[in-house]
């Protein structure tokens, strides 16, 4: 679960080439466990990498879903084509 820190609204600024996140509390044991194993001085870079990998995966999933939709539509059109030409 992701929530704002009590008393402060989570503030996410999306700028041209970066984003800034203020007052964010991520209540996920797996995320905390992963970052706890990383040296404190490297945690910020590790969190940025986690976000990059997550975005990469989400983009690929969306592209995969889009490709599957296109494949199914083409398959349907190819299956319908002989029937359409028979009636001409």
Dist. CA 66–CA 82, nearest whole Å:
26
Taking the complete model, does pTM exceed 0.75, yes or no? Answer: no
pLDDT, position 65: 84
Per-residue pLDDT of 8-51, as tens digits, reads: 566 888 999 999 988 888 899 999 999 999 999 999 999 999 99
Dist. CA 80–CA 76, nearest whole Å:
6
Counting residues of the chain whose pLDDT is more than 90, the rounded percentage is: 35
Where are the domains positioned within the chain?
1-37, 40-88
Q: Per-residue confidence at 74, pLDDT binned at 50, 70, 90? A: confident
């Amino acid at each position: 679960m992701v929530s704002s820190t009590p008393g402060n609204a989570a503030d996410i600024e999306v700028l041209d080439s970066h984003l800034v996140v203020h007052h964010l509390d991520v209540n996920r044991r797996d995320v905390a466990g992963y970052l706890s194993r990383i040296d404190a001085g490297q945690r910020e870079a590790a969190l940025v990498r986690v976000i990059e990998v997550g975005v990469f995966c989400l983009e690929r999933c969306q592209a995969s879903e889009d490709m599957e939709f296109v494949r199914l539509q083409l398959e349907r059109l190819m299956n319908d084509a002989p029937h359409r030409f028979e009636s001409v």
